Structure formats: structure tokens, C-alpha cells
Chains A and B, each alone.
Chain A
Amino acid sequence: MKAPRVWSWIALTLGLLYFFLPLIGTIEFSLRKRRGEYSLDAYRWVFEDPKFRETFSYSVVMALFTIVVGVLIVVPTAYWVRLKFPRLRPLVEFVTLLPLVIPPIVIVFGYIRLYNTSSFLPLTGTASGTNLLLMMGYATLSLPYMYRAVDTGLRTIDVRTLTEAAQSLGANWPTIIGRVIMPNVLVAVMSGAFLTFAIVIGEFVMAALLNRPAFGPYLQLIGANRAYEPAALAVIAFSITWICMGLIQLATLLTRHSRPPRS
């Protein structure tokens, strides 16, 4: 097996070169703002820009609301489907995968047409209505990831027995979902939540077309008008993605240790 190993190293090295050069290039470029020496000037400019703070906090708040709404919709539904309507599972799974099939730009196009000021539900007429619409759009985008994470989490527990045990102890439905099911799938919910966060923070198309002051359109605007600051923003955005993914890994590691393997 000598020859394959040489090829493996070549494939891996070329691949890693392709992935790391842009990362190194971005970091290097972001430090170049001051002529002749490396400095953090681009980062200082970004952090001092009030628009950065506004759009970034807007997107963070949107992400948190999206996560709450996503969890409230997905966890009870995934639980209910497993408990009461196992035959509906393929259908529900299919619906949750649709956002991967229908491009986000088409979904938001539909929103603009369906919820305009002269429609039955004129959400785009007010700022708060549009915020709500954008949040629902984000919830749609994260639906495939959230649902799959939660459904996988539910697979590892015995939903029926837990429910019956809770019921015979006198628990009602909110108690069962909130205090029995939820703690058991918390890790899965968390990994879905971090992914949602990463998606919402960088999202561009929906926010731009709904005209909301989110971080994605801000990135695009800076990219069109500044030289070195976009690279600094890319480094910031990449760090956020990395942190979110790192937290998912951490969440997965925690499950592996806290739960005995099932056969």
C-alpha cells in the first residue's frame, strides 16, 4: 500500500492548501490597512462603526428569536409525530426538507408577493410586521437542520414509555414536553440552535429583499465601498461560524459521555 499513501498525501495537501490560503489571505489582507506595516486599523474601523453595532445586534436578536420560535415549533411537532402519527413521519420529514430544495430567494419572493400591503395579511406594511416575516423566513431556512437534529435526538429515547410514565404520575402535556422530553433532547436542540445562529447571522438574500437592517446586507454594503474592512468582517464572520460549530461539537461530546450507549 505504498503508492496509495503518496497519492493520499498529495490529495490532502492540495486540498488543505486550497482551504487555508483564502483564510490566511483574508487575515493578512485585513491587517494591511496602514501603509507599510500590519495593524488592526481595519478592525478598529469596523468596531467603531455604529452601523456595525446596529446591524450586528439586530441579527443577534433575530437569531435568538428564530431559535425560540424554531424550538417551539419543531420540538412538540417531532415529539407528537413520533408519539401519535408515526405514519405521517415521511410527509413531515419531506416538508422540513423543502427549504433545501426551494431556493431562499424564491421563498422570500413569495413572501413579498403574498404579504404585501394590499393582501389578506399585510405584514410588509410595518417594520415590526416585516421583522416577524423575516424571522419566520429564518425559521424556515433552519427548519431542515433543526428538525433533523431534534428527530435524531428523539430516536435515542423511548418516547412512548417516558410519556406514559409521566402521564401516570399526573403530568399534563406542557409538563411532559417541557420537563420530560425537552431535557432529553436538549443537546440536539442546542446543536440545531447553534447552526441556526450561524445561518441567521450571515444571511443576506432575505434581509436584503425585505429591506431589514441586518448584518448580511451590511457586509455586502461594506464590501462594495471599503477596501480592507471587508476582510476584517470576513474574519469576524468566520470566527462566529467556527465558534458555533465548536459549540455543536462540544454539545455532541457531552451527549456521548452523559448517556450510556443503547443497543
Chain B
Amino acid sequence: MPLAWLGMVPFTLFAVLFLILPTMNIVVGAFQTPDGTPTFRNVLNLFQPSILSAYWISIRISVASALAGCLIGFAMAAAITLGGLPQWIRGPLLTFSGVASNFAGVPLAFAFLATLGRLGLVTVILKDWFGINIYGLGFNLLSFWGLTLVYLFFQIPLMILIITPALDGLKKEWREAAEILGASGPQYWRMVALPILLPSLLGTFALLFANAFGAVATAYALTGSSLSIVPIVLFAQIRGDVLQDPHLGYALAFGMIVVTGIANGIYVWLRARTERWTR
């Protein structure tokens, strides 16, 4: 039935025109000089201090928010699955996680400015009630840790959503078997549960990392262009060629694809390994 291929035409056309060609265009541009000859110079030019430091701070924020998101999300997911909390907490928390994991962007920045900004609710309460001036202690929302703290608002829920099914997959029999063989609680976690969960944990970490690495709107609305993370440098570059070299801009974008691509690749690979246990 040769005509059956026609059914795939709209999707293929859409994907090629608005997803694949634009991306290829950037990737090819990263390996070309302005007059079109192939070159590695653009990619090599990424290794200059200002751009390297942008990648470095981006990677550090992504690692910090992914790590903290994994830990806190894991603690909360463990609390609702294994922690013996009342059953009715679970549903609302998962629904809320679904909402909050989509609540990135400009409004999230506003929410944190209204809470932990210089006049924010928590800042004011800490100062008036407890005499703690967090800004006097060196806290700044428009900084590395500030941005990490804000990113956690969508990182933790994503972790909860992904890791809860994995925790549900821990069979009661494994724990009982471990206890009968004389294992203590920590021993059970260290030698049975964690090795089983490890691929999911690492995979989710990679996913959270990519999630934070590509985020633009929150950071831009929060810090303007005062914090030079890669997506913000790229944003400024697209708007006004701040690097004064369009092809270096393509290389910058290409670098982003490489980083998020590797992180997602790790996630997919580890997830395939996890599925052995959750079946």
C-alpha cells in the first residue's frame, strides 16, 4: 500500500520545517565561517574565559539545583510512599507536583522576588520578628544560590513525579527478606534499596540537570542580564549580537544542545536499565 506514506507527510513536514531544519541550521552554522567554508574555529573560540565562565556557572547552577532537587524530592517522595504518612496526602501532593513542575518562567521569578526579595514577606518577617537581616548576612536572590533556590521550585516536583513510581516498585518482600537475614534499616537501604534505585536516581538527576540548563525565562526575569549563564548570554546574542560574531553565537547554541543532549542521553540509557526492576 504505497499511498499509506501520504499519512505521514503532515507530521514529517512539520517536524522537518520547525524542529529539525532550524536545529540543523544552527549546528551547521557553528561549523562554518561567515562565507560558508567549514571550520572548527567557532567551536574552538568557545574556549575563551568569558564564555567558559558562562558555561561553568550554568553547569554549577544546574548541578546544584539538580542535586538539591533530587535529595529533597527523594525525601518527600519517600515520605509519602514508605514513610507511613496518611494515604490522603499522596494524591494532592502528586497533583501539586504536576502543577509546580510546569510553573517555571517569569511568574516564578516574581513569586520569589515577592517572598525573598529585599521587601519580600519572608525577608520582612525574619527582620521584624526575629531580628535576622538575611541581606545583611550576605544573602542575595540575584545570585548563584538565589537562582538555585528558585529553580528548586520546579526541580523538586519533577523529582517527586518521576521517583514516586520507582519507590512504589520497591517490593515489600525485599525489605522483609533483608530483615529476616538480619539487616538493619540503614543496611537495607545501603545494600538493597539504593543499588536498585541508583539508575533511576542518576537518570532523574541528568534530567533535572538538563531542565535547569535550558531554562531562560526565570533567570532573565529575576536577574536581567546581571548573571551571565549560557542561556542569558545566548538571549543577548540573538537580540543584539553582543559577542560581535554571529557564528560564535551558533557555536554557543550548539554547545547548549551538546550539554542537554548528553544529559538526556544519560537519562534515557539509565531509564532503560531501570525498567528491568519496575516491570
Contacts and interface: CB of A to CB of B under 8 A. Distances in A.
B47 interface: no
Interface string B211-235: 0011011001100100000010011
A248 B95 CA distance: 10
B89 interface: yes
Contact of A101 (B18, B80, B261): B261
Interface in B6-29: 7-8, 10-11, 14-15, 17-26, 29
A104 B214 contact: yes
A29 B120 contact: yes
A176 to B, nearest CB: 12
A204 B121 contact: no
Nearest to B254: A106
A238 B113 CA distance: 15
Given A76-B7, A202-B106, A241-B99, A103 B214 contact: yes
B18 A140 contact: yes
Interface string A209-222: 10000001001100
Interface residues of B, number: 79
A205 interface: yes
Interface stretch (B37-45, B71-79, B161-169): B71-79
B77 to A, nearest CB: 9
A199 B154 CA distance: 14
Nearest to A15: B76
Interface string A79-90: 011001100100
A8 B79 CA distance: 4
A160 interface: no
A9 B85 CA distance: 7
A9 B83 CA distance: 8
B79 A26 contact: no
B21 A105 contact: no
A45 B238 CA distance: 33
Given A11-B75, A19-B96, A103-B257, A137 B121 contact: no
Nearest to B160: A15
B5 to A, nearest CB: 9
Interface stretch (A151-159, A180-188, A227-235, A255-263): A227-235
Given A8-B83, A107-B22, 18 more contacts: A7-B79, A11-B78, A18-B152, A22-B153, A25-B121, A26-B115, A80-B4, A80-B8, A92-B11, A95-B19, A103-B216, A104-B214, A110-B24, A139-B14, A204-B221, A205-B217, A230-B113, A249-B95
